[in-house]
C-alpha cells in the first residue's frame, strides 16, 4: 500500500513483508531463501554446505554464537538504508511532490533486483590475503558510512527545508540509489560469507539472521525513524512540552548510523578473520565470463524464456494498488508515521503466512495457488481505491477515528494474505524447476526476473498518475491546469487548480482490467509451465 507498509515485489528491500528473498527483498516477502545468493556457478553454493573430508565434528550453535551475532549485526546494518529509502517517498508526499517525481525516485528500489548483474564480479575479484568476502564488505561499508555522514550535512537542503525551495528529487534519487547499490553489494558479500563463516551444522542460522536482521534494520530505518521524526507523534506520546520538530531529523539519523557503520566495519576488519578451515576448494569461482555465459544459456531455454515473459507482466494489475495507494492516503491527510506503524501488527502475520501457505505449495503444482490468489488481490485494488475515496470523508478536526485505522489494517492484512500466497507459490516453483547442478545461479536468475516484474509496473504506475489526472482552473477565466506552467499562471491570475478526475482512480480500474485480462488469457498458460518435464528446465552443460 505504501513504501512504508506495503510489501514490494521487487525491490527492496525488505520493506515490511518485503522484498528480500534470494536477491532481496521488499523487496516482496521474507528472506527465507537468502542462501542461494551470489550466483555461484556450477552449484558452488551447494558445495559449500558439504563437509570436507577430515573436517571437524559437529558444533553446537553456542560454539559459533559470536559469528551468528556478527551476521545478525551485518544484516541489521543492511536494513538501515533500505528502511530510509522506503521512508523518503512518504516524506516527499508530505511535501507535495508530484507523482512523476515519485516515479523517478522509485528507481532507488531497483538495485536489489538487479544485483545478479554484478554478483559474479563480487564473487570472483578479491584480495586473497585480506579475505574473499571482507575484500568487498569492508570497503563497501566504509563508503556507506562516510557517505551517510556527508549526506547528513546536505540532506536538509535536498529535502527543500530551507529558503522555501522544494525537494531536489534528482539529487535524492541519485543519493539513495547509491545507498541501495552499496547495500545490495554488501548483501552479496554477507550472504556469501555466511556460507563459510558458520559450520555445516549451523549454516541454517544464516537465513534466520538475514530475516530477523534485515527486518529489524528496516524497522529502525523506516518505522522508528518516521515516528521519531514526526513532531505530532513525539509531542503526543513522548514529550511533556510540545516542540515544533521531532526528536530526530533525517540529518541526525544519517550521521548516527554513518558513525555506527564506520565503527562496526573497523571492528570487523581488525578482529574477524575469514574461516579458512570451512572454505572448501570448490568455493573458488570458475570465472566471471563463465558465470555470465551460464546465465545467458539458462535464459535462452524456451521454458525459462516463457516464464520470464509471463512473470514480467503478471503483476501489472497490482501496480496502482501497491505503488500509489499509500501515497494517496498521505495526500489525503493520513499521517505518514501512522501508516508506517501499521506495519508493526502485521509482523506476526507475515511470519505465520509462509508457514501456512507452504503446505499448499509444496506439491507438484505450486502455481495453482498463485492463480487462485490473483483475482482476490486484483479485487483488493478496487477496495484500496474505495479506501482512498472514503478517507477525506471520515477525517475530522482531531484526525481520523479509530475505526478508520481498523479498516485500513484489515485491508492491509487481506492484501498480505493474497500477496504471500502468490509470493510463496513463485518461490516454490522456482525451487522446483531450478537445475540442482547450478541451483544458486539458476534460482537467483528466476528470482531476479520475478522482482523486476514488480519493479517496472510500480514505476510506470507512479509516472502515469499525473498525466491521467484532469484538473481545471477555478476562479480565473481562460486559464487551464494542464501543465505545471499553466497551473502557475492560473494561480497568478487569482484562481486555483481543482482536481475533477484523479488519475489514481482511472489507473486503478485500468490495472484491474489488465490484471483480469492476464488472468483469463495468460494465466492458464502460466500454470501449464509446471507440467513441463524436468528436461525442459535443465541447462545443457559443456565441458
Q: What is the CATH number of the domain that holds 407?
A: 1.20.1250
Q: pLDDT (tens digit, 9 = 90+) per residue, 262-306?
A: 999 999 999 888 865 444 444 444 567 887 888 888 888 999 999
Same domain, residue pair 265 and 290: no
Asked if pLDDT for residue 236 goes beyond 80, the answer is yes
Do residues 295 and 168 both lie within one domain?
Answer: no
Whether the CB-CB separation of 120 and 162 falls below 8 Å is answered with no
Half-sphere exposure in the Cβ direction for 180 (13 Å, CA)? 36
Q: Indicate if 337 and 254 belong to the same structural domain.
A: no
User: Residues 99-116: pLDDT tens digits?
Assistant: 999 999 999 999 988 888
Residue 358 has pLDDT above 60, yes or no: yes
User: What does the pLDDT average to over 230-239?
Assistant: 89
For residue 248, the model assigns a pLDDT of: 92
Give the number of C-alpha atoms closer than 13 A to the C-alpha of residue 348, restricted to the C-beta side.
1
Q: If you average pLDDT over every residue of the chain, what do you get?
A: 83
Instruction: Name the residue range of residue 195's domain.
Output: 63-273
Percentage of residues in the chain having pLDDT higher than 70 = 84
User: CA–CA distance from 11 to each of 107, 112, 300 (Å)?
Assistant: 9, 6, 25
- Provide DSSP, 107-136: GGG-HHHHGGGTHHHHHH---TTT-TTHHH
> What pLDDT, on the 0 to 100 scale, is given for residue 77?
94
Look up residue 194 and give its three cell numbers: 555466511
Closest Cα to residue 411, out of 503, 309, 532, 329? 329
**Residue 467 sits in the same domain as residue 534:** yes
Q: State whether 393 and 442 are in the same domain.
A: yes
Bridge partners, residue 399, by sequence: 396
Q: 171 and 240: one domain?
A: yes
Residues 302, 246, single domain; the answer is: no
Task: Give me the number of domains the chain comprises.
Answer: 2
158: domain CATH number is 1.20.1250.20
- Give the model confidence (pLDDT) of 2-27 as tens digits: 444 444 444 443 333 333 333 333 33
List, for residues 141-196, the tens digit of each pLDDT value: 999 999 999 999 999 889 886 566 789 999 999 999 999 999 999 988 888 888 78
Model confidence at 59, in pLDDT bands (50, 70, 90)? low
Question: pLDDT at residue 37 above 50?
Answer: no
Determine, yes or no, domain membership for 34: no
| Alpha carbons 295 and 289: distance in angstroms, whole number | 10
Q: What is the pTM of this model?
A: 0.82
pLDDT, position 33: 31
Cβ atoms of 388 and 328 closer than 8 Å: yes
> Between 195 and 93, whose confidence is greater?
93
- Strands 496-501 and 470-474 come out as antiparallel
First to last CA, the chain: 49
Amino acid at each position: 500500500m505504501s513504501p512504508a507498509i506495503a510489501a514490494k515485489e521487487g525491490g527492496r528491500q525488505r520493506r515490511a513483508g518485503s522484498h528480500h528473498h534470494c536477491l532481496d527483498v521488499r523487496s516482496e516477502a521474507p528472506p527465507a531463501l537468502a542462501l542461494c545468493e551470489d550466483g555461484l556457478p556450477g552449484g558452488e553454493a551447494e558445495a559449500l554446505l558439504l563437509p570436507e573430508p577430515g573436517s571437524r565434528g559437529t558444533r553446537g550453535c553456542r560454539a559459533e554464537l559470536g559469528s551468528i551475532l556478527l551476521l545478525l549485526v551485518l544484516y541489521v546494518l543492511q536494513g538501515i538504508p533500505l528502511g530510509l529509502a522506503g521512508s523518503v517517498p512518504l516524506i516527499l508526499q508530505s511535501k507535495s511532490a508530484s507523482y512523476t517525481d515519485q516515479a523517478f525516485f522509485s528507481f532507488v528500489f531497483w538495485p536489489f533486483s538487479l544485483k545478479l548483474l554484478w554478483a559474479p564480479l563480487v564473487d570472483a575479484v578479491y584480495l586473497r590475503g585480506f579475505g574473499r568476502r571482507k575484500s568487498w564488505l569492508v570497503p563497501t561499508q566504509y563508503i556507506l558510512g562516510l557517505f551517510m555522514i556527508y549526506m547528513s550535512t546536505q540532506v536538509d537542503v535536498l529535502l527543500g527545508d530551507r529558503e522555501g525551495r522544494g525537494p531536489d528529487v534528482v539529487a535524492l534519487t541519485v543519493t539513495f540509489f547509491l545507498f541501495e547499490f552499496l547495500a545490495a553489494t554488501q548483501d552479496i558479500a554477507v550472504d556469501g560469507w555466511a556460507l563459510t563463516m558458520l559450520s555445516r551444522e549451523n549454516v541454517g542460522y544464516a537465513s534466520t539472521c538475514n530475516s530477523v536482521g534485515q527486518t529489524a534494520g528496516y524497522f529502525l530505518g523506516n518505522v522508528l525513524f518516521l515516528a521519531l521524526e514526526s513532531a505530532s507523534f513525539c509531542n503526543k506520546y513522548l514529550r511533556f512540552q510540545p516542540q515544533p520538530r521531532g526528536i530526530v531529523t533525517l540529518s541526525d539519523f544519517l550521521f548516527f548510523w554513518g558513525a555506527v557503520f564506520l565503527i562496526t566495519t573497523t571492528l570487523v576488519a581488525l578482529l574477524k578473520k575469514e574461516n579458512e578451515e570451512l572454505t572448501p576448494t570448490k568455493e573458488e569461482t570458475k570465472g566471471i565470463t563463465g558465470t555470465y555465459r551460464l546465465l545467458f544459456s539458462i535464459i535462452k531455454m524456451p521454458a525459462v524464456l516463457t516464464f520470464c515473459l509471463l512473470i514480467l507482466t503478471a503483476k501489472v494489475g497490482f501496480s496502482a494498488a501497491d505503488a500509489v495507494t499509500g501515497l494517496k492516503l498521505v495526500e489525503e491527510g493520513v499521517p505518514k508515521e501512522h501508516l508506517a506503524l501499521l506495519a508493526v501488527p502485521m509482523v506476526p502475520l507475515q511470519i505465520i503466512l509462509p508457514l501456512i501457505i507452504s503446505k499448499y505449495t509444496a506439491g507438484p503444482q505450486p502455481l495453482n495457488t498463485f492463480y487462485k490468489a490473483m483475482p482476490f488481490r486484483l479485487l483488493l485494488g478496487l477496495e484500496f481505491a474505495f479506501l482512498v475515496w472514503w478517507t477525506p470523508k471520515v477525517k475530522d478536526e482531531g484526525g481520523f477515528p479509530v475505526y478508520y485505522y481498523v479498516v485500513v489494517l484489515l485491508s492491509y492484512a487481506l492484501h498480505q494474505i493474497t500477496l504471500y500466497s502468490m509470493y510463496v507459490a513463485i518461490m516454490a516453483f522456482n525451487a522446483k524447476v531450478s537445475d540442482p547442478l547450478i541451483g544458486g545461479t539458476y534460482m537467483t536468475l528466476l528470482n531476479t526476473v520475478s522482482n523486476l516484474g514488480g519493479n517496472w509496473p510500480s514505476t510506470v504506475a507512479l509516472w502515469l498518475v499525473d498525466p491521467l489526472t484532469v484538473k481545471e482552473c477555478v476562479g480565473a477565466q481562460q486559464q487551464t491546469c494542464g501543465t505545471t506552467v499553466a497551473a502557475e499562471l492560473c494561480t497568478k491570475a487569482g484562481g486555483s487548480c481543482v482536481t475533477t478526475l484523479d488519475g489514481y482512480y482511472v489507473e486503478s480500474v485500468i490495472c484491474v482490467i489488465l490484471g483480469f485480462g492476464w488472468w483469463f488469457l495468460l494465466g492458464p498458460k502460466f500454470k501449464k509451465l509446471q507440467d513441463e518435464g524436468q528436461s525442459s528446465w535443465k541447462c545443457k552443460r559443456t565441458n
